[in-house]
Structure 1
Amino acid sequence: MHSTPAQPRRATHDHEIESLAEFDEIVAAHGTLARFRVQGIDLTDRTDALLSLETEGAVFLGCPMEHDAAARLRAAGALVFPPVPGLPFDPYRGFVYAPDELFESLDEGYEATPDAQAYTWFVRTKADGDIFASMLRAIHDDVVSDALDELLVGARVVGVMGGHAMARGTEAYASAARLGRELARAGLTVATGGGPGAMEAANLGAYAAPFDDEMLVEALRLLAKAPSFRPSVTDWARAAFEVRGRWPGGGASVGIPTWFYGHEPPNAFAAHIAKYFANATREDGLLARSNAGVVFLPGAAGTVQEIFDNATPNYYESRGEPTPMVLVDREHWTRMLPAWPLLQSLAGGRVMESRIALVDRIEEAPEALKRLGG
Structure 2
Amino acid sequence: MAEPGGAIYDRLAPVPERQWDRAAGLDALLDGAREPFVVRGLVADWPLVAAGRESASAARRYLVERARDRPFMVSIGPPGHDGRLYYDADMAMNFRTGTGKLADIFAGIEQGEEQGDPRTVYLGSIDIPSHFDGLHEANAVELGGRETLKSIWIGTRTRIAAHNDFPDNLACCAAGRRRFTLFSPDQFGNLYLGPIDNTPAGRAISMVDFEAPDLAAHPRFADAMAAAQTALLEPGDAIFIPSMWWHHVEGLDAFNILVNYWWRGTPAWLGQPQDALNHAILAIRDLAPADKAIWRAMFDHYVFENGPAVTDHIPEPARSVLAPLTRESAGRLRAFLLRTLNR
TM-score by length of 2: 0.27
More helix by share: 1
Higher fraction of strand: 2
Task: Output the TM-score relative to the length of structure 1.
Answer: 0.26
Taking CA–CA contacts closer than 8 Å with sequence separation of 6 or more, which of the two structures ends up with the larger relative contact order?
A: 2
